[in-house]
Amino acid sequence: MKKLLLVFALFAGLSSFGQQTTNQFSLNFLTPSAEYELAVGDNASVDFIGGVAFAYRHVFDESDYGVFPQFMGQYRYYYNFKKRIKKNKNVSNNSGNYIAAVALLSSGNSVLGDLDLSSNYDGFVGPAWGLQRVYGKTFKLNLNLGLGYGFNDVDYYLAPLVGLQLGFKLGKN
């Protein structure tokens, strides 16, 4: 009986080291946006971001900028939770590295500034690598890097994805 209890305690302890993604809502201030990450599996989530993107163009002595409405969706697979746990690093609130399938759509007309694009919209579809960290209980950092298919109503092209979000996670842990 003691051996059975010991085996049960061992398995119960090991299962507590498993990580499951969690649902979370955050507000980002570097690129103003609202974000909701929905857990869809132990290591997977779907992330939705609605906000604005900033663009700047400098040609010769002329500069233009624009702020554009933007929506992005990602399917994320977090691949390093176990490794982070073994190193006693934080994995709560989906703090980890991930690979993602990304879809992004942005307006071609700025809501602020004088930079308007020649197209009515811009889009991106492709893979990305990312890392997300939540420091303390609320401060959130997220970085996305990718390369994929860019498109608009005029053209299609190979496009880089560089995204950096700094913000605050809201709600319970």
HEC profile of 68-86: EEEEEEEEEEECCHHHHHH
- For the chain, the structural domain boundaries read 2-170
pLDDT for res 173: 58
pLDDT by position in tens, the chain (length 173): 444 344 334 333 333 344 578 899 999 998 899 999 999 998 999 999 999 988 888 888 888 899 999 999 999 999 988 888 888 887 778 888 999 999 999 988 888 988 877 889 999 999 999 999 999 889 999 999 999 999 999 899 999 999 999 999 998 75
Specify the pTM. 0.79
**Which class does domain 2-170 fall in?**
mainly beta
- Asked if 126 and 147 count as a contact pair (C-beta separation under 8 A), the reply is yes
pLDDT at 91: 78
Per-residue tokens: 10: 């061992």
